[in-house]
Amino acid sequence: MARGNITKRGATSWRLKYEAGNPDPVTGKRQTRYVTFRGTKKAAQAELTRRLAEVDTGTAVEPSRLTVAEYLRGWLGVGEGLAPKTLERYRQLAERQIIPHLGAISLQKLRPAQIFTWHASLSATGLAARTIGHAHRVLHRGLARATSLEFVPRNVAHAVPPPKIEATEIAILSAAEIADVLVKLHDHLLYPIADLALGTGMRRGELCGLAWGALDLDNATVRVERSLEETAAGLRFKPPKSRHGRRTISLPSSVVEVVRAHRRHQAEQRLALGAGRPGADDLVFTLSDGSPYPPDKLSRDWGNVVRDRKLPRVTFHALRHSHASALIAAGLDIVTVSRRLGHGSPAITLNVYAHKFASKETAAADAIEAAMGAGAKSPV
């Protein structure tokens, strides 16, 4: 059995020392490896345990012989604290976009020129610049870990930026369309969740993970405390990504009435099934059998109702954008909009909705022009 130890080198830096198999057959010396690891002590111990297991099972690979494919699969096999949905997406990008092009290259021989050629090859297939950017970020993150473990001296993906993404107008509902959509949906099962989405700007997963206990209809507020995530392994509840995602949102009075009506309807259904009235932990939006509403199914159901009722062709996520745009049009400042949406910082909100704020600048210029014109006509 292989053995090793960890030694603290800095605040978040550790040296991993371990035996890398049997002694050298020529010199008789032990094959000892030293690796610098950055992270918590628990994470360092887990990394050492993983490496020792590879040595014991004979699956350890000499760093100089490690290919990009072998490294990425090993890294993503561990997961390294990635959320299940993120890990699932990373693996898809690695297998579909990275490994077919760069997988056979030795990790230590990967160069910036090959990254550049890889981008060009993906572009030539017609792959969207946004998807190429996502794949590049997976490779960049993986190489960042390889650098910290001293498999490679530098992150070559850092030297070549991914293709620039052309700014596109976000498809949203206008104020008139919002009213029209709600009228056309009034008798549909998706009406309550669409109404709450438009009234709060909550994300799809946040709506699907919403429990009745998070709603205070008397004070017209909703607390966003978790989200329902869908992966190949199934559904799971997860907390917000950051403290900004955990927030309390005020509700328009019309939305409160829609939610109250939805609660009465749900209570009637549950009583008919012998399930009793919905409790604080019960979900606000469920399937007909009371089970959680998978976010991907919600998107598909929304697409169907858009087609069947001839609604404006926007995604369910566009309801969140429509909410934000309505706030901006009403003159709310960026900080308020950002907090309501649960963004990590106002800079994120500005990046997404910069074109909307730019249109407000035109109105500002018109307002000051009117003021200056009035002043010019006033007697001195």
Sequence ranges of the chain with CATH classification 1.10.150.130 = 4-159
Tell me: pLDDT of 359 over 80: no
63-91 pLDDT tens trace: 677 899 999 999 998 777 788 889 999 99
Calculate mean pLDDT across residues 142-161. Answer: 89
Average model confidence (pLDDT) across the chain? 86
* CATH fold of 4-159: DNA polymerase; domain 1 (1.10.150)
Among 43-52, 176-185, 270-279, which is the least confidently predicted range? Answer: 270-279
Q: Supply the pLDDT for residue 6.
A: 92
Task: Name the pairing type of β-strands 227-231 and 234-238.
Answer: antiparallel
pLDDT at 298 over 90: yes
pTM for the model stands at: 0.69
Topology at the third CATH level for domain 175-360: hpI Integrase; Chain A (1.10.443)
SS (H, E, C) the chain: CCCEEEEECCCCEEEEEEECCCCCCCCCCCCEEEEEEECCHHHHHHHHHHHHHHHHHCCCCCHHHCEHHHHHHHHHHHCCCCCHHHHHHHHHHHHHHHHHHHCCCEHHHCCHHHHHHHHHHHHHCCCCHHHHHHHHHHHHHHHHHHHHCCCCCCCHHHHCCCCCCCCCCCCCCCHHHHHHHHHHHCCCCCHHHHHHHHHHCCCHHHHHCCEHHHEECCCCEEEECCEEEEECCEEEEECCCCCCCCEEEECCHHHHHHHHHHHHHHHHHHHHCCCCCCCCCCECCECCCCCECCHHHHHHHHHHHHHHCCCCCCCCCHHHHHHHHHHHHCCCCHHHHHHHHCCCCHHHHHHHHHHHHHHHHHHHHHHHHHHHHHHHHCCC
Which pLDDT score, from 0 to 100, does residue 51 have?
Answer: 84
Least Cα distance to 18 among 57, 46, 51 occurs for: 51
Q: Is the pLDDT of residue 1 over 90?
A: no
The per-residue pLDDT for range 213-265, each reduced to its tens digit, is: 999 999 999 999 999 998 888 999 999 878 889 999 999 999 999 999 999 99
Which residues of the chain form CATH 1.10.443.10? 175-360
Q: What average pLDDT does this structure show over 46-50?
A: 88
Distances (CA, A) of 368 to 30, 113, 365, 371, 372: 78, 52, 5, 5, 6
